[in-house]
Amino acid sequence: MTKYNKGTVTLVGAGPGDPELLTIKGLKAIEKADVILYDALINPVLLDHNPTAQKIFVGKRRDFLKKKQVEINELILELANKGLDVVRLKGGDPLVFGRACEELEVAKKAFIPTEIIAGIASYTGIAAQHQIPLTKRGEHESFWVVTGHTQNAKLSSDISLAAQSTATVVVLMGMRFLAEIVDIFKQFNNGDYPVAVIQNGTTSAEKSLLADLDTITDLVKQHQIDNPSVLIFGQAAADPVTHYKNLVKEKALAL
């Protein structure tokens, strides 16, 4: 019988930012890891759960590239082949725009045992924090999650398809092309179509605003909102405010 003398590779979703939104299973994996390779979007507090593990930053940002993906893949192999249990800690959920497939494929080809531990995706966690219902029976009964740009740093063609639907549309990594995205939505919707933008959602550094297609671009500049942000297009974005206004109106009528 062949006995493994290799370590393991576990991809862990760290959630949208609030460290308390990490899953229990994710926490246990962090606590047992020999090495933690972590992204720019994870809350650094999570690293404190394992004081003895080696921590290596492998985060990538638009204007700051620490390691290329091929280098991360090579590092995963190097560490696991030494018999170390490697946790690859990623923001949100590993399988949502997280390049998890590339890292899994590399490990599996080397016959390294792998596991994925789901995390709360940024768009669901942040929407819940702001009480934005991505779906609502009888109104917006489905939702899109679209990347703002493709692998080639081009505007995603899926945005045009999403903008034509009646569904809620969530755009991740879309701030670079915000003006272009808004223009696409204007082709199919009125200028008062609601838009919410939330930067660093669920964290103490959070910034958020509710606007519409006519005002969102200027307001984002005015309030200096940038990446990492989640954009939510559709009536769902305005639902919390609308609900509050209706409650106030009902109370006023009852007096």
Multiple choice CATH, 123-242, 1.10.150.20, 3.40.50.2300, 3.30.950.10, 2.60.40.10: 3.30.950.10
Give the catalytic positions in this structure.
39, 60, 173
Segment 49-61 shows an average pLDDT of 92
Six-digit token pair at 70? 């091929």
Which regions of the chain carry the CATH code 3.30.950.10? 123-242
* Mean pLDDT rounded to a whole number for the chain: 91
pLDDT attached to residue 90: 97
Multiple choice CATH, 8-117, 3.30.470.10, 3.30.420.80, 3.40.1010.10, 1.10.760.10: 3.40.1010.10
Q: 18-22, 56-60, 108-112: which has the minimum mean pLDDT?
A: 56-60
Segment 216-243 shows an average pLDDT of 90
Which regions of the chain carry the CATH code 3.40.1010.10? 8-117
The pLDDT > 90 percentage for the chain reads 83
Closest CA to 13 of 121, 136, 119, 164: 119
Burial 173-184 (b: 16+ CB within 10 A, else e): bbbebbeebbeb
Closest CA to 197 of 164, 246, 179: 179
Convert the pLDDT of each residue in 190-219 to its tens digit: 999 999 999 999 999 999 999 999 999 999
- Phi, psi for 208 (deg, rounded to 5): -150, 155
Segment 224-247 shows an average pLDDT of 80
Give SS3 for 94.
coil
Cα–Cα distance between 17 and 27 in angstroms, integer? 14
For residue 136, give the DSSP letter.
Answer: B
Cα–Cα distance between 198 and 208 in angstroms, integer? 4
234 pLDDT more than 70: yes
